Copies of this chain bind each other. A is one copy, B any other.
Amino acid sequence: MLNLSSDYVEGAHPLILDALIRTNMEQLPGYEMDSYCASAAQKIRMACECPDADVFFLVGGTQTNETIIATMLRPYEGVLCAQTGHIAVHESGAVEYTGHKALTLEGKDGKISAEQIRDYVSSFYADSNHEHMVFPGMVYISHPTEYGTLYSLNELTNISEVCHAYHLPLFLDGARLGYGLMSRNTDVTLGDIARLCDVFYIGGTKVGALCGEAVVFQPGRAPAHFITMVKQHGAMLAKGRLLGIQFDTLFTNHLYEEISKHAIEMAESMKSILHKHKIPFFLETETNQQFVTLKNTELTYLSQHLIYSTWEPVDAEHTAIRLCTSWATDSAKLEELDSILANMP
């Protein structure tokens, strides 16, 4: 059955598997002290145009989010984020488990604005009771967001400025970063992100790797003894090579860009098919996630032919679903979608 439910339903890009096989018998030190981690980190620094960045490799998204947040905040601080932010909704309270509050702002299609941050922080300090409250200590945004939307360079610059004005580190969750960077109309580059954020990560799991997220700190922004805290959070791989080799491959010959670009092209084709069949969009995006609204009766048919993600109920008779593309989506799959929709009663 066709599966467009997510961008992590297949394994890894073949070049990654090739690299794992090629390097398999090399004897390498553990705990990310190997040469592939070093090489990958260096390639990422170059791609970020930030030669002094600190780069670390973690295994998955929730883990990366909670480790970064817990290690950058002081105990009296919480993290500002959209109320739809992944950390606020779909991480089983991992941030709270580390002792910190997610301070939520009402987002718009997954995004928050510089103005909202400014208002929150200035109201906070104006409140005479603020010493009895949780201090805003950093800002979390995702790009693309959980809704597949993107910040413009202008929006991102404004957020960065307000963050720095208030000494709030800006943290960008890039679990699907590639799809944002390769989106057709974006004006945001990897260099921009590295320049504007104190810390962000380049998602591997959802962009062609088996697992892995590459965390990039601006020079001097990595918490002291970050490695020890990564270990403490259970986030360090003994065979760190698994992460190093994957990211070294992704950042060789622009593979990360190619994978992402391919998924965007497939997403644009998928959008055309959806339009052709007059499927109403719940949210049409410029990245690899598309959200459409279907009648529940239509879903009875669809679910026999297509695996999708149920997003949220729209009303008693309609439901929003998500369809994704990835490096592994090809024309054959989209033709199958076309045919399934053509036959929808």
Contact = CB atoms under 8 A, between A and B. Distances in A.
Contacts of A310: 128
A237 to B, nearest CB: 6
A97 B75 contact: yes
B93 A237 contact: no
Given A25-B10, A63-B234, A234-B234, A229 B30 contact: no
A9 B25 contact: no
A71 interface: yes
B23 A8 contact: no
A211 B239 contact: yes
Given A129-B90, A310-B128, A78 B60 contact: no
A41 interface: no
Nearest to A5: B29
A210 B234 contact: no
Interface residues of A, number: 79
Contacts of A232: 75-76, 91-94, 97
A84 interface: no
Interface of A: 3, 5-6, 8-12, 14, 17, 20-21, 23-31, 59-67, 70-71, 74-76, 78, 89-94, 96-102, 128-129, 131-135, 205-206, 210-211, 224-225, 227-229, 231-239, 241-242, 307, 310, 328
B210 A131 contact: no
Contacts of A89: 133
Given A93-B100, A231-B131, A236-B60, A9 B24 contact: no
B21 A9 contact: no
Nearest to A59: B59
A128 B76 CA distance: 33
Given A78-B96, A228-B92, A234-B235, A11 B30 contact: no
